A = this chain, B = another copy of it.
Protein backbone atom coordinates (compact mmCIF):
# COMPACT_ATOMS: atom_id res chain seq x y z
CA UNK A 1 0.00 0.00 0.00
CA UNK A 2 0.90 3.66 -0.29
CA UNK A 3 1.20 6.15 2.55
CA UNK A 4 1.84 9.87 2.29
CA UNK A 5 3.07 12.48 4.76
CA UNK A 6 2.07 15.78 3.16
CA UNK A 7 2.95 18.78 5.28
CA UNK A 8 3.08 22.54 4.87
CA UNK A 9 6.43 22.53 3.11
CA UNK A 10 7.16 18.93 2.13
CA UNK A 11 5.60 15.95 0.37
CA UNK A 12 6.62 12.32 0.89
CA UNK A 13 4.84 9.39 -0.76
CA UNK A 14 6.03 5.93 0.29
CA UNK A 15 5.24 2.35 -0.74
CA UNK A 16 5.39 0.27 2.42
CA UNK A 17 5.47 -3.43 3.16
CA UNK A 18 2.94 -5.18 5.39
CA UNK A 19 5.32 -4.58 8.31
CA UNK A 20 5.61 -0.85 7.57
CA UNK A 21 9.04 -0.95 5.96
CA UNK A 22 9.59 1.71 3.27
CA UNK A 23 10.12 -0.07 -0.09
CA UNK A 24 10.17 3.00 -2.36
CA UNK A 25 9.47 6.70 -1.96
CA UNK A 26 9.19 10.10 -3.62
CA UNK A 27 10.12 13.11 -1.46
CA UNK A 28 9.73 16.69 -2.74
CA UNK A 29 9.38 20.24 -1.45
CA UNK A 30 5.84 20.52 -2.81
CA UNK A 31 4.09 21.06 0.51
CA UNK A 32 0.48 22.22 0.60
CA UNK A 33 1.73 25.81 0.86
CA UNK A 34 3.24 25.48 -2.63
CA UNK A 35 0.13 24.14 -4.38
CA UNK A 36 -3.44 25.21 -4.96
CA UNK A 37 -5.92 22.83 -3.31
CA UNK A 38 -7.47 22.00 -6.71
CA UNK A 39 -4.06 20.88 -8.03
CA UNK A 40 -3.28 18.51 -5.17
CA UNK A 41 -5.13 15.44 -6.45
CA UNK A 42 -3.32 15.64 -9.81
CA UNK A 43 0.01 16.15 -8.06
CA UNK A 44 -0.55 13.08 -5.89
CA UNK A 45 -1.59 10.98 -8.92
CA UNK A 46 1.56 11.92 -10.80
CA UNK A 47 3.72 10.78 -7.88
CA UNK A 48 1.67 7.56 -7.57
CA UNK A 49 2.47 6.89 -11.24
CA UNK A 50 6.15 7.37 -10.41
CA UNK A 51 5.82 4.65 -7.77
CA UNK A 52 3.80 2.49 -10.21
CA UNK A 53 0.67 2.17 -8.07
CA UNK A 54 -2.24 4.32 -9.28
CA UNK A 55 -4.93 1.93 -7.99
CA UNK A 56 -3.53 1.11 -4.55
CA UNK A 57 -5.20 2.58 -1.47
CA UNK A 58 -3.29 5.60 -0.21
CA UNK A 59 -3.46 6.92 3.36
CA UNK A 60 -2.39 10.52 3.98
CA UNK A 61 -1.53 12.59 7.03
CA UNK A 62 -0.42 16.15 7.70
CA UNK A 63 -1.59 19.58 6.58
CA UNK A 64 -3.10 18.01 3.45
CA UNK A 65 -6.13 17.41 5.73
CA UNK A 66 -6.32 21.05 6.91
CA UNK A 67 -8.22 24.08 5.68
CA UNK A 68 -5.31 24.97 3.39
CA UNK A 69 -4.97 21.37 2.12
CA UNK A 70 -6.79 19.11 -0.31
CA UNK A 71 -9.71 18.20 1.93
CA UNK A 72 -10.40 19.36 5.50
CA UNK A 73 -10.74 16.54 8.02
CA UNK A 74 -12.08 17.43 11.50
CA UNK A 75 -9.72 17.06 14.48
CA UNK A 76 -10.15 14.29 17.01
CA UNK A 77 -9.94 15.35 20.64
CA UNK A 78 -6.97 14.62 22.88
CA UNK A 79 -6.37 11.99 24.35
CA UNK A 80 -5.89 10.32 20.97
CA UNK A 81 -4.90 6.76 20.10
CA UNK A 82 -4.51 4.52 17.06
CA UNK A 83 -8.10 3.52 17.74
CA UNK A 84 -9.60 7.01 17.77
CA UNK A 85 -7.49 8.19 14.83
CA UNK A 86 -8.34 5.18 12.66
CA UNK A 87 -12.05 5.48 13.55
CA UNK A 88 -11.95 9.09 12.36
CA UNK A 89 -10.09 8.37 9.09
CA UNK A 90 -11.97 10.09 6.26
CA UNK A 91 -12.22 8.77 2.73
CA UNK A 92 -11.64 11.77 0.49
CA UNK A 93 -14.76 12.29 -1.69
CA UNK A 94 -15.03 13.32 -5.34
CA UNK A 95 -11.94 11.48 -6.52
CA UNK A 96 -11.40 8.16 -8.27
CA UNK A 97 -8.48 7.49 -5.96
CA UNK A 98 -8.94 5.22 -2.95
CA UNK A 99 -7.55 7.96 -0.71
CA UNK A 100 -7.96 8.29 3.05
CA UNK A 101 -6.81 11.05 5.37
CA UNK A 102 -5.84 10.89 9.05
CA UNK A 103 -7.39 13.65 11.23
CA UNK A 104 -5.31 16.03 13.32
CA UNK A 105 -5.62 16.24 17.10
CA UNK A 106 -6.95 19.18 19.10
CA UNK A 107 -6.61 19.98 22.76
CA UNK A 108 -8.49 22.60 24.77
CA UNK A 109 -8.27 23.20 28.50
CA UNK A 110 -10.65 24.86 30.90
CA UNK A 111 -7.97 27.58 31.36
CA UNK A 112 -8.40 28.64 27.73
CA UNK A 113 -5.30 26.89 26.41
CA UNK A 114 -5.72 25.53 22.95
CA UNK A 115 -3.46 23.52 20.69
CA UNK A 116 -3.57 21.57 17.46
CA UNK A 117 -1.37 19.16 15.51
CA UNK A 118 -1.59 17.56 12.06
CA UNK A 119 0.94 14.94 11.04
CA UNK A 120 2.88 14.60 14.28
CA UNK A 121 0.14 12.40 15.80
CA UNK A 122 0.89 9.87 13.06
CA UNK A 123 4.62 9.87 13.82
CA UNK A 124 3.83 9.32 17.50
CA UNK A 125 1.55 6.39 16.62
CA UNK A 126 4.42 5.02 14.52
CA UNK A 127 6.82 5.43 17.41
CA UNK A 128 4.37 3.60 19.71
CA UNK A 129 4.45 0.54 17.41
CA UNK A 130 8.18 0.20 18.10
CA UNK A 131 8.20 1.29 21.75
CA UNK A 132 8.67 -1.01 24.72
CA UNK A 133 5.75 -1.69 27.03
CA UNK A 134 7.31 0.63 29.58
CA UNK A 135 7.76 3.41 27.01
CA UNK A 136 4.16 3.03 25.84
CA UNK A 137 3.02 3.49 29.44
CA UNK A 138 4.71 6.80 30.13
CA UNK A 139 6.96 8.79 27.79
CA UNK A 140 7.84 12.33 26.74
CA UNK A 141 8.29 13.00 23.03
CA UNK A 142 9.66 16.00 21.18
CA UNK A 143 9.01 16.54 17.46
CA UNK A 144 11.14 19.53 16.40
CA UNK A 145 10.15 21.51 13.33
CA UNK A 146 8.63 24.80 12.18
CA UNK A 147 6.22 24.33 15.07
CA UNK A 148 7.81 21.89 17.54
CA UNK A 149 5.45 19.54 19.32
CA UNK A 150 6.02 18.19 22.80
CA UNK A 151 3.76 15.28 23.66
CA UNK A 152 3.16 13.14 26.66
CA UNK A 153 2.17 9.52 26.09
CA UNK A 154 0.37 7.47 28.74
CA UNK A 155 -1.20 4.06 28.26
CA UNK A 156 -0.34 4.16 24.52
CA UNK A 157 -2.39 7.36 24.09
CA UNK A 158 -1.32 10.91 23.27
CA UNK A 159 -2.69 12.39 26.47
CA UNK A 160 -1.26 15.92 26.32
CA UNK A 161 0.76 18.09 23.95
CA UNK A 162 1.92 21.62 23.33
CA UNK A 163 3.52 23.57 20.51
CA UNK A 164 6.69 25.64 20.59
CA UNK A 165 7.10 28.32 17.94
CA UNK A 166 10.86 27.85 17.70
CA UNK A 167 11.35 26.95 14.05
CA UNK A 168 9.16 29.69 12.61
CA UNK A 169 10.59 32.22 15.07
CA UNK A 170 14.14 31.35 14.02
CA UNK A 171 13.24 31.73 10.35
CA UNK A 172 11.53 35.09 10.96
CA UNK A 173 14.43 36.49 12.97
CA UNK A 174 16.95 35.15 10.47
CA UNK A 175 15.13 36.57 7.45
CA UNK A 176 13.79 39.86 8.74
CA UNK A 177 15.27 41.06 12.04
CA UNK A 178 18.27 43.16 13.05
CA UNK A 179 19.55 40.23 15.14
CA UNK A 180 21.21 38.33 12.33
CA UNK A 181 23.18 40.21 9.73
CA UNK A 182 25.46 39.24 6.88
CA UNK A 183 26.75 35.84 5.81
CA UNK A 184 26.61 33.23 8.55
CA UNK A 185 28.87 30.34 9.50
CA UNK A 186 27.90 27.50 11.79
CA UNK A 187 29.56 28.13 15.15
CA UNK A 188 29.41 25.62 18.00
CA UNK A 189 30.72 28.10 20.56
CA UNK A 190 28.04 30.63 19.71
CA UNK A 191 25.32 27.95 19.86
CA UNK A 192 26.58 26.95 23.32
CA UNK A 193 26.64 30.60 24.46
CA UNK A 194 23.03 30.97 23.27
CA UNK A 195 22.03 27.82 25.19
CA UNK A 196 23.66 29.16 28.34
CA UNK A 197 22.00 32.57 27.95
CA UNK A 198 18.55 31.07 27.41
CA UNK A 199 17.92 30.66 31.14
CA UNK A 200 19.54 33.92 32.20
CA UNK A 201 17.80 37.03 33.27
CA UNK A 202 14.25 37.97 32.65
CA UNK A 203 13.21 35.62 29.86
CA UNK A 204 13.47 35.25 26.10
CA UNK A 205 12.05 38.63 25.08
CA UNK A 206 14.77 40.28 27.18
CA UNK A 207 17.56 37.97 25.95
CA UNK A 208 17.04 38.20 22.18
CA UNK A 209 18.62 41.62 21.76
CA UNK A 210 21.85 40.19 23.21
CA UNK A 211 22.47 38.60 19.82
CA UNK A 212 22.77 42.06 18.31
CA UNK A 213 24.55 43.77 21.20
CA UNK A 214 27.23 41.07 21.25
CA UNK A 215 27.96 41.72 17.57
CA UNK A 216 27.82 45.53 17.86
CA UNK A 217 30.29 45.46 20.74
CA UNK A 218 32.59 42.95 19.03
CA UNK A 219 32.06 40.20 21.63
CA UNK A 220 30.93 37.85 18.88
CA UNK A 221 31.48 37.88 15.13
CA UNK A 222 28.40 38.93 13.18
CA UNK A 223 28.71 35.68 11.20
CA UNK A 224 28.02 33.66 14.35
CA UNK A 225 24.83 35.46 15.35
CA UNK A 226 22.50 32.89 13.77
CA UNK A 227 24.16 30.10 15.77
CA UNK A 228 23.79 32.14 18.96
CA UNK A 229 20.14 32.76 18.16
CA UNK A 230 19.55 29.08 17.44
CA UNK A 231 21.01 28.18 20.85
CA UNK A 232 18.94 30.85 22.56
CA UNK A 233 15.65 29.73 20.99
CA UNK A 234 16.13 25.96 21.27
CA UNK A 235 17.48 26.48 24.80
CA UNK A 236 14.41 28.49 25.72
CA UNK A 237 12.14 25.76 24.34
CA UNK A 238 13.91 22.89 26.12
CA UNK A 239 14.37 24.81 29.40
CA UNK A 240 10.63 25.44 29.59
CA UNK A 241 9.94 21.71 29.44
CA UNK A 242 12.95 20.59 31.49
CA UNK A 243 11.66 22.32 34.62
CA UNK A 244 8.63 20.02 34.54
CA UNK A 245 10.64 16.79 34.06
CA UNK A 246 12.88 14.84 36.42
CA UNK A 247 16.64 15.26 35.99
CA UNK A 248 17.94 12.57 33.65
CA UNK A 249 14.51 11.91 32.13
CA UNK A 250 14.49 10.48 28.60
CA UNK A 251 13.02 12.56 25.77
CA UNK A 252 12.26 10.72 22.52
CA UNK A 253 13.10 13.07 19.65
CA UNK A 254 11.47 12.40 16.26
CA UNK A 255 12.82 14.58 13.43
CA UNK A 256 15.12 14.81 10.43
CA UNK A 257 18.85 14.51 11.01
CA UNK A 258 19.73 18.21 10.73
CA UNK A 259 17.55 19.16 13.71
CA UNK A 260 18.59 16.17 15.81
CA UNK A 261 22.04 17.47 16.71
CA UNK A 262 21.05 20.87 18.20
CA UNK A 263 18.09 19.36 20.07
CA UNK A 264 20.14 16.50 21.55
CA UNK A 265 22.78 19.03 22.61
CA UNK A 266 20.16 21.25 24.27
CA UNK A 267 18.58 18.28 26.07
CA UNK A 268 21.98 17.28 27.44
CA UNK A 269 22.63 20.89 28.51
CA UNK A 270 19.46 20.83 30.63
CA UNK A 271 20.22 17.44 32.20
CA UNK A 272 17.88 15.36 30.03
CA UNK A 273 18.66 12.34 27.85
CA UNK A 274 17.63 12.58 24.21
CA UNK A 275 17.06 9.59 21.90
CA UNK A 276 16.69 10.32 18.21
CA UNK A 277 14.34 8.61 15.74
CA UNK A 278 14.16 9.43 12.03
CA UNK A 279 10.95 11.28 11.14
CA UNK A 280 9.95 9.69 7.81
CA UNK A 281 10.36 6.13 9.11
CA UNK A 282 7.86 6.83 11.87
CA UNK A 283 5.36 8.55 9.57
CA UNK A 284 5.30 5.37 7.48
CA UNK A 285 4.92 3.13 10.52
CA UNK A 286 2.15 5.32 11.91
CA UNK A 287 0.21 5.52 8.67
CA UNK A 288 0.46 1.75 8.27
CA UNK A 289 -0.75 1.16 11.85
CA UNK A 290 -3.72 3.51 11.45
CA UNK A 291 -4.64 1.91 8.10
CA UNK A 292 -4.40 -1.57 9.59
CA UNK A 293 -6.68 -0.64 12.49
CA UNK A 294 -9.27 0.38 9.88
CA UNK A 295 -8.71 -2.83 7.84
CA UNK A 296 -7.42 -0.89 4.84
CA UNK A 297 -4.33 -3.08 4.39
A residues sitting closer than 8 Å to B (CB atoms) are 106, 108, 111-116, 147, 150, 162-166, 168-169, 172-173, 175-179, 193, 196-197, 200-206, 208-210, 213-214, 216-217, 219, 233, 236-237, 239-241, 243-244
Contacts and interface: CB of A to CB of B under 8 A. Distances in A.
B201 A113 contact: yes
Given A112-B193, A113-B201, A203-B240, 10 more contacts: A112-B197, A114-B210, A114-B213, A114-B217, A116-B216, A164-B202, A172-B173, A203-B236, A204-B204, A204-B236
30 contacts: A106-B213, A111-B200, A112-B197, A112-B214, A113-B210, A114-B210, A114-B213, A114-B214, A114-B216, A114-B219, A147-B209, A150-B206, A162-B202, A164-B205, A164-B209, A165-B209, A166-B205, A168-B177, A169-B205, A172-B172, A172-B173, A176-B176, A201-B240, A202-B240, A202-B241, A202-B243, A203-B203, A203-B236, A206-B237, A206-B240
Contact of A205 (B116, B209, B233): B233
A215 to B, nearest CB: 9
A206 B164 contact: yes
Nearest to A215: B114
Contact of A204 (B112, B203, B219): B203
Contacts of A202: 162, 164, 240-241, 243-244
Nearest to A111: B200
Contacts of A200: 111, 113
Given A176-B172, A202-B240, A240-B203, A165 B112 contact: no
Contacts of A108: 217, 219
A137 B63 CA distance: 57
